[in-house]
Chains A and B, each alone.
Chain A
Amino acid sequence: MIRGPVLPQMREGLWALVAGRLEAIETGLLLVLEDLDCSGGRLGAVEGLARDAAGAPVLLTMATDGDALLAGRVLAASEFLQRVGDSLAAAVPEGNFAPGVNGRVVVVGTEGASASLESLRRLSLPGVALCRLEPFRIGGVERFAVRWLANGPEAAAKVTAAQVDFAVAADRRADWQTIEQLSLRLDPAVRIDGDRFLRRITWQGRLLGEVCAADGTLRGSGADGVSYRLLSPRDVREFGDRLVRRYAELTGLSMDGGNRAGEPSARPREDEVGGGGAARNAKGVAPGESLRASLSSARLTPEEYSALGGPARLAGGGTEVAGVAENVIRAVSAQEGSWAGPTMRTD
């Protein structure tokens, strides 16, 4: 079904939508205060002050069609951040801002604000990042994708998220590069995208793993949700191994055939371990099976996915629409009706 614009076209409406989903704009973004006036009342208040995953202040402002004050407001916000510098941490203690880190202004716009975003992009203001929300509807649910726009006149207007700098601490950069290179070598269809603090590694739209940079560390998480602390080259190798295995699984190259989760197990039951637990094993864990082994076998089968109402693609098929959704940098589902703005059918 094709639908018309569903994102709110007013600043307040757009902010109401965005404020509740800051995680979708950027991993780890946390709202601290709303309505910050940086221009002595001349250009309107900036909608939000947030803290990012590195502890830096982020001023958020919404760009909508026909907002003549946008550029002035963004400029004032950027100047404000430079002017107050570290003293913001003392002035807004609830923000827990880390000292010595540079703040940013993030402008969030809709399709309707493309022209304003484009002129801001050409200005190439330092410390200002621009993104556009692109709505779509899938499986009866409204979602939006976040597209970051590269700064500067020479950059193409349409860029992929991978061009947003990944905020890896300098001493972890080599580890990230190892993971990145390993992933890209696997297959030309491997893509890496995400935001400033998160990178998703996908193959044909299916998740191989994620890497998150926060507070000076790197964390990986496998497609099965198991997370890995990437502190040493050994951790990085282990995580890389996990990515390769996942890739092999998806492409059918995997050698480990047996023991798919969810299949009724013929293994004997083992007696209760803790005794405090309320329930006993129903499907059976192998005697002496380690916790880790039992975790990795908890992958969902296609039958379980479809019984839960999951899209067909998850059940092993491959519909294009779902693939598109997976490719989206950050897709956030929003229940229909919770959108602040008007919706318009065009089909």
Chain B
Amino acid sequence: MEPDLDASKAGRGFLRRIFRYKAAPDVSRDREALVIAFASGKGGTGKSFLTTNAAIGLHRLGRRVAVVDCDFGLANAHLLFGVNPRFTMQHLLDGAISAQQALMPTPYGPGLIAGGSGISSLAELGARHMQVLGRALGWVAANHDVVLLDCPAGLAPPAMITVLAAQHVVVVTNPEIAALTDAYALIKCLARQPSWPTVHLVVNRVAQPGLGRATFERLAEVSRRFAGCEIHYLGEVPEDSAVTHRRLGQAPLLVSHPECPTSLAIQSMLSTLEKNVGGLQMQASANQGVEARMAAQIRRW
């Protein structure tokens, strides 16, 4: 029902002011980037590799995309992008710089907020830091179409809070059992929360074609049966020696070998994600943007 905003009637001015206030044009926050976290239970499954290359793929599709390296302890997205950041997450969390200052361009298109690799004061992440991060993510999301979060491995509260701030999580696993059980632990943990992002799965480092699908089916079945959580398959990415033998300073795979099977698999992963999600672009955020989602989790810490 339309509210009655006729100010000529007595007593309605107040209502009008309220509605005006509610509709106050904070245009930047009306619509927000789609926030997608790349996460895994086990470390080293290929989150950073996939996040950086997916960001490049999205940039080539014409999206304004930013990567936020939330791997607070062992950040490496800047190395994969071949940039030497002047400011990192540490400066941001210390309040020394704004999100705008922390965001740096990369030679391949996506913007990046670099993590603070091995900086010891990052080890003391608390609720206050996560609030700062939430605000920064709010700003980044207001100024991009897609924001990719490269999350730390494991189930520590800061890692979980970052994942829970996203609308979608791409769980990156490998076919081997250790990665699979850790991926499941993450999914199970997510499914225990009051609300959680839509879960997608990509199986990385697949040595035989088809192993990814089989891995997904097993994990999907266990997730459904024991955790009550549906997961969506994005595809498999082959084990590729060009990735493992990549040197520091070398261009990301999607740039150096755009037609190789691994790059094609990443692009196919993106188009499946786009289909599953209904478009990789800004979305109406109402009043529940990434900052609010993060704040809700911080309150539960």
- Interface residues in chain A, defined as those with a beta carbon under 8 Å from any beta carbon in chain B: 16, 19-21, 23, 28, 30-34, 94-96, 139, 141, 214-217, 219, 221, 224-227, 229, 231, 261-262, 270-285, 289-292, 294-295, 297-301, 303-305, 307-311, 314, 333, 335-338
Residue B8 at the chain A interface, CB threshold 8 Å: no
Give chain A residues whose Cβ lies under 8 Å from the Cβ of B184: 300, 304, 308
Once the chains bind, are B193 and A285 in contact (CB under 8 Å)? Answer: yes
Q: Out of A21, A261, A289, name the residue touching B188 (CB < 8 Å).
A: A261
Give chain A residues whose Cβ lies under 8 Å from the Cβ of B153: 225
Q: In the complex, which residue of chain B has the Cβ closest to the Cβ of A294? A: B192
Bound Cα distance A284, B194 (Å): 7
The digit string for B23-44, where 1 denotes a CB below 8 A from any CB of A, is 0000000000000000001001
Number of residues from B at the complex interface, CB < 8 A = 75
Nearest CB in chain A: distance from B138 CB, A = 12
Q: In the complex, which residue of chain B has the Cβ closest to the Cβ of A22? A: B244
Once the chains bind, are A225 and B194 in contact (CB under 8 Å)? Answer: no
Once the chains bind, are A290 and B300 in contact (CB under 8 Å)? Answer: yes
Once the chains bind, are B226 and A225 in contact (CB under 8 Å)? Answer: no
Q: In the complex, which residue of chain A has the Cβ closest to the Cβ of B82? A: A94
Given contacts A217-B118, A282-B227, A304-B184, contact A277 B196 (CB under 8 A): yes
Give chain A residues whose Cβ lies under 8 Å from the Cβ of B230: 279
Q: Can you add 13 more A-B contacts, CB < 8 Å, to A217-B123, A219-B123, A301-B226? A: A28-B74, A214-B74, A215-B120, A261-B188, A274-B296, A281-B194, A289-B300, A295-B157, A298-B185, A308-B184, A333-B176, A335-B205, A336-B207
Given contacts A33-B247, A282-B228, A295-B157, contact A273 B296 (CB under 8 A): yes
Bound Cα distance A153, B63 (Å): 62
Nearest 10 CB-CB pairs, A to B?
A282-B228, A277-B195, A215-B118, A20-B244, A335-B207, A229-B123, A274-B293, A278-B198, A298-B189, A94-B249
Stretch of B10-18, B93-101, B216-224, B263-271 with 4 or more beta carbons under 8 angstroms from chain A: B216-224
Stretch of B143-151, B159-167, B253-261 with 4 or more beta carbons under 8 angstroms from chain A: B159-167
Bound Cα distance A20, B154 (Å): 22
Given contacts A262-B188, A335-B239, contact A273 B300 (CB under 8 A): yes
Bound Cα distance A32, B247 (Å): 5
Listed A/B pairs (14) with beta-carbon separation below 8 Å: A23-B44, A96-B248, A141-B176, A214-B118, A217-B123, A231-B120, A275-B288, A276-B290, A280-B194, A280-B195, A285-B193, A304-B226, A308-B180, A308-B184
Given contacts A217-B118, A225-B154, A231-B124, contact A275 B293 (CB under 8 A): yes
Give chain A residues whose Cβ lies under 8 Å from the Cβ of B154: 221, 225-227
Once the chains bind, are A298 and B155 in contact (CB under 8 Å)? Answer: yes
Given contacts A295-B160, A309-B180, contact A281 B292 (CB under 8 A): no
Bound Cα distance A115, B192 (Å): 55
